[in-house]
């Protein structure tokens, strides 16, 4: 697939949004309920069971096939209070959603939400949200799989089909309840007329699965643009909550919108060094007052192979690093970074990189992995014992020590008669285990 498939609480601004996103807020009890762990996409697990000291002992504990179609979506892991157990949720390209017992892999329920699903789901309270290529957002009961409500993207003339939802939604909360933020890519590669959306969630007093606002991404020259970048939520130094995401061709930019009304706050142009220089990675947000920045920082890369640090308040560049030049490899960069203290961790091609979050100086680069990477790095473990987890397109899992990116272990996860299945998803770490899915349609638990 051209895009390489990747595949929250909010603070009060203008009396609309009421609670601030915090690092690992979605993972307070070890839960992993949204893409890359929380609304700011810091990619750090609050479950510290898996660390550098134990990484070499990791192996596949169970594996379960969903429906035989590929899985690009990253798993979610959440404790279900009704069932009194942790559940793992994932969805196939064919649109089959399954909930598994996190410890044993036993299936708890299954439901179809329509085909063409490549983005990861998000869970808020007892609602699981998933978008598909038909432009349908579905909210499922996380306990039973029952459909709670749906929102169908409209068709805007002269378009003839709805836009495709190919990113992972992020959930915020306002004075009326939960809000689901996501984007669409438009109806096709040639049309590419997409928009960013805010939809009222289940339990919202303004009406579940109703539109709060829509932001048209407009045109650059004579061509439209869309988005498949998983949005992040962050609060700038003025107390305003922003929705941050990247756009596809021909725009190839990073946007910050006001989360309360969808108004554009700033736009940052990445390097358009070729015709398909999409910004498909999810942004990672550092809060104001952290890592030497009064305003806060957005860390993101695009297919231009560059890692950027952008001022959260102004949209101006703080620093950039050319990963293609350093690696000597020219591949798409679509991975979300993890932020651990003053260290930015991100994968590009066959390497994991660490940068100083303030200056952009390269701190470490790992040894080369076997295959290229499309998933995003995840960090787990207690301070002083943290480990970086990533899987590649050769079907292997790698663990690197956070302090110096020395390799701790490599495990072949996926098996096939002729060749291993690719892994384009990212890990979810919870329940003392690491969960991931392969393009062979199987969900794996490592422990």
Tell whether the model's pLDDT for residue 24 goes beyond 60.
no
CB neighbours of 158 closer than 8 A, spacing ≥ 6? none
Q: Please give the helix or strand (H or E) that residue 78 lies within, else none.
A: strand 76-80
Q: What is the mean pLDDT of residues 377-392?
A: 97
Highest mean pLDDT among 14-23, 29-38, 345-354: 345-354
Tell me if 366 is assigned to some domain. Answer: yes
Q: Which domain holds residue 159?
A: 25-446
Tell whether the model's pLDDT for residue 18 goes beyond 70.
no
- 106-124 tens-digit pLDDT: 999 999 999 999 999 999 9
- 26-53 tens-digit pLDDT: 334 589 999 999 999 999 999 999 999 9
CB neighbours of 190 closer than 8 A, spacing ≥ 6? none
At 276, the pLDDT band (50, 70, 90 cuts) reads confident
Tell me if 5 is assigned to some domain. Answer: no
Share of the chain above pLDDT 90, in %: 84
Q: Which stretches of 248-334 are assigned E, i.e. beta strand?
A: 253-258, 264-269, 284-286, 297-301, 306-311, 317-322
Tell me if 16 is assigned to some domain. Answer: no
Tell me if 423 is assigned to some domain. Answer: yes
Share of the chain above pLDDT 70, in %: 91
Greater model confidence, 11 or 57? 57
Contacts 24+ apart (CB under 8 A), 139-147: 139/201, 139/202, 139/208, 139/209, 140/97, 140/111, 140/113, 142/78, 142/80, 142/87, 142/89, 142/99, 143/80, 143/82, 143/83, 144/109, 145/97, 145/99, 145/109, 145/110, 145/111, 146/111, 147/111
Q: What is the mean pLDDT of residues 309-325?
A: 98
Least confident of 8-22, 166-180, 251-265, 305-319: 8-22
At 23, the pLDDT band (50, 70, 90 cuts) reads very low
Mean confidence (pLDDT) of the chain: 91
Q: Using a cut of 0.85, tell me whether the model's pTM lies above it.
A: yes
In 3D space, the residue among 23, 27, 140, 32 whose CA is nearest the CA of residue 426 turns out to be 32
Tell me if 3 is assigned to some domain. Answer: no
Tell me if 40 is assigned to some domain. Answer: yes
Least confident of 125-134, 270-279, 288-297: 270-279
Q: What is the mean pLDDT of residues 386-407?
A: 97
CA distance linking residue 194 with residue 216, whole number of Å: 7
CATH number of the domain residue 227 falls in: 2.140.10.10
- 212-243 tens-digit pLDDT: 999 999 877 667 889 999 999 999 999 999 99
Tell me if 304 is assigned to some domain. Answer: yes
Query: What pLDDT is stored for residue 416 in this prediction?
Result: 58
Tell whether the model's pLDDT for residue 297 goes beyond 90.
yes
Query: What pLDDT is stored for residue 17 in this prediction?
Result: 38
Is the Cα torsion angle 326, 331, 334, 338 positive or negative in sign? negative
Tell whether the model's pLDDT for residue 193 goes beyond 60.
yes
> Structurally, how many domains does the chain consist of?
1
Tell me if 171 is assigned to some domain. Answer: yes
Query: What pLDDT is stored for residue 26 in this prediction?
Result: 35
CA distance linking residue 48 with residue 385, whole number of Å: 9
């Amino acid at each position: 697939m051209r895009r390489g498939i990747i595949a929250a609480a909010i603070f009060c601004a203008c009396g609309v949004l009421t609670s601030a996103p915090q690092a690992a807020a979605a993972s307070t009890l070890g839960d992993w309920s949204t893409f890359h762990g929380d609304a700011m996409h810091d990619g750090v697990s609050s479950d510290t069971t898996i660390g550098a000291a134990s990484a070499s002992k990791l192996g596949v504990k169970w594996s379960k096939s969903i429906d035989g179609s590929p899985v690009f979506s990253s798993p979610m892991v959440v404790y279900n209070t009704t069932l009194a157990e942790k559940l793992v949720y994932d969805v196939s390209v064919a649109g089959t959603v399954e909930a598994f017992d996190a410890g044993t892999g036993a299936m708890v329920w299954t439901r179809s939400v329509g085909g063409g699903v490549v983005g990861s789901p998000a869970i808020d309270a007892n609602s699981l949200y998933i978008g598909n290529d038909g432009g349908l957002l579905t909210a499922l009961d996380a306990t039973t799989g029952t459909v709670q409500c749906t929102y169908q993207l409209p068709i805007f003339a002269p378009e003839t089909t709805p836009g495709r939802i190919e990113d992972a939604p992020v959930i915020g909360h306002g004075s009326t309840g939960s809000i689901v933020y996501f984007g669409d890519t438009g109806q096709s590669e040639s049309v590419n007329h997409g928009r960013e959306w805010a939809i009222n969630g289940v339990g919202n007093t303004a009406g579940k699965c109703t539109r709060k606002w829509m932001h048209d991404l407009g045109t650059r020259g004579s061509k439209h643009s869309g988005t498949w970048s998983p949005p992040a939520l962050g609060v700038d130094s003025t107390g305003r909550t922003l929705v941050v995401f990247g756009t596809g061709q021909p725009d190839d930019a990073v946007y910050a919108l006001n989360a309360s009304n969808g108004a554009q706050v700033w736009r940052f142009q990445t390097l358009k060094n070729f015709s398909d220089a999409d910004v498909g990675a999810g942004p990672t947000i550092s809060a104001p007052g952290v890592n030497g920045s009064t305003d806060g920082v957005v860390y993101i890369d695009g297919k231009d192979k560059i890692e950027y640090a952008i001022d959260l308040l102004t949209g101006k560049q703080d620093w950039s690093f050319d990963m293609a030049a350093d690696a000597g490899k020219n591949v798409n960069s679509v991975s979300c970074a993890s932020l651990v203290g003053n260290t930015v961790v991100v994968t590009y091609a066959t390497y994991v990189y660490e940068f100083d979050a303030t200056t952009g100086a390269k701190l470490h680069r790992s040894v080369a992995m076997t295959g290229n990477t499309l998933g995003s790095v995840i960090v787990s473990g207690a301070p002083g014992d943290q480990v970086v987890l990533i899987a590649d397109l050769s079907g292997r899992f790698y663990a690197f020590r956070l302090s110096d990116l020395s390799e701790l272990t490599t495990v072949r996860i996926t098996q096939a008669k002729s060749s291993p299945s690719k892994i384009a998803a990212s890990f979810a770490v919870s329940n003392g285990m690491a969960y991931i899915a392969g393009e062979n349609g199987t969900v794996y638990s490592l422990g």
